[in-house]
Amino acid sequence: QPALSQPPSASASLGASVTLTCTLSTGHRDYTVDWYQQRPGKGPRFLVRVGSGGMVGSKGEGIPDRFSVVGSGLNRSLTIRNIQEEDEGDYHCGADHGTGTNFTVEFGGGTKLTVL
């Protein structure tokens, strides 16, 4: 099963852009990854799914165009443009693997985004 790696923190100024990265472990370059936003004290919110070729399917409900993704090699990146105060929070990437009794869902450690 894949392991997912995320930097623990990131920061960006209001109105700027930031790219958050999620790196899959070696040998898992074909996996899709789901990005989730978690505001303080809230449950996660699905943002977008990304594969090696870019976005897969549709974004989550109400997710603005400011959020975009790129998939390259083992990296699945989320870019947020024109950052707003409401974008502050934790960003998690997750991926599922296997079927039946081997099914599992793995998450990265999460990146805490601070809006300056």
Partner 1 sequence: QVTLKESGPAVIKPTQTLTLTCSFSGFSLTTPGMCVGWFRQPPGKALEWLALLDWDEDEYYKTSLKTRLTISKDTSKNQVVLSMTKMDPVDTATYFCARTQLWNDYFGAFDFWGQGTMVTVSS
Answer for which of 16, 57, 64, 66 binds partner 1 (CB under 8 A) is 57
Calculate the CA dihedral of residues 35, 92, 11, 15 and round it to 10 degrees: 30
Contacts of residue 104, Cβ cutoff 8 Å, sequence gap at least 6: 1, 96, 97, 98
Distance (Å, rounded) from C-alpha 68 to C-alpha 104? 26
Q: Does 105 bind partner 1 (CB under 8 A)?
A: yes
Q: Does 108 bind partner 1 (CB under 8 A)?
A: yes
Answer for which of 45, 68, 70, 79 binds partner 1 (CB under 8 A) is 45
Give the footprint of partner 1 on this chain (CB under 8 A).
34, 36, 42-46, 49, 57, 60-61, 92, 94, 96, 99-101, 103-110
